[in-house]
Amino acid sequence: MEPHVCRISQKGTDSRGEWVSVVNGGATTVALTGLELTDYTETQEHVHVYRFPKTTAGSSLLLGPGEHAFVFTGKGQNQLHAGQSGKRELWLFAGRSAPIWNNDGDVAYLRRLDGTFVSSLTVGAPARHPNVH
C-alpha cells in the first residue's frame, strides 16, 4: 500500500499553523522522497508544491508502517518526533510565509514527481477539478 493523504488542518492546531498529514497505512516502509504534495488550483498547474526532501545524509526520507508525516506550511526545522501513539512522526516544514489551504475547502494531492497520482483528500467545498483528481 502506498502512502496517502490522511488529514488537512486548514487553520492548524497550534503555533505551527496549518498542515497536511500523510500516513503509511501499509505493512512495509515507504519512501516519501520522490513525492510531492500540492493543493487545488483552477488550472492545476501546481502553484503550491512541496517536494518531500532527502534526509540530511542524502538518502530517501522513509515512513514506516503506521507512521505519519506532517507537512506544515510555515517555517521551522524538519525533525523526527515521538507521537502520542508511540510511533514516530516526521514534522516537515514547507517554509512559506502565507497560508496555502483554503478555509472554505481545498484538495490535497499526493503525486510522484512525474505527475502520477498517488492519493488525494478533499475538505470543505472546493471547486473540483473535472476528473475529480
CATH code assigned to 4-124:
2.60.40.1260
Q: Which cell is 113 given?
A: 514527481
Angle, vertex CA 66, rays to CA 4 and CA 77, nearest 5: 80
Angle, vertex CA 68, rays to CA 124 and CA 1, nearest 5: 90
Domain ranges of the chain: 4-124
Which residues, at least 6 apart from 61, have a Cβ–Cβ distance to it below 8 Å?
Answer: 31, 32, 33, 52, 53, 54, 55, 69, 90
- In this structure, are residues 74 and 95 in contact, taking their beta carbons and an 8 Å threshold? yes
- The pTM (predicted TM-score) of the whole model is 0.87
Print pLDDT tens along the chain (133 aa): 789 999 999 887 777 889 999 999 999 999 999 999 998 766 666 568 899 999 989 999 999 999 999 999 999 999 998 888 788 999 999 999 888 888 888 899 999 999 899 999 998 876 654 444 4
Q: Is 98 in a helix, a strand, or coil?
A: coil
- In this structure, are residues 19 and 62 in contact, taking their beta carbons and an 8 Å threshold? no
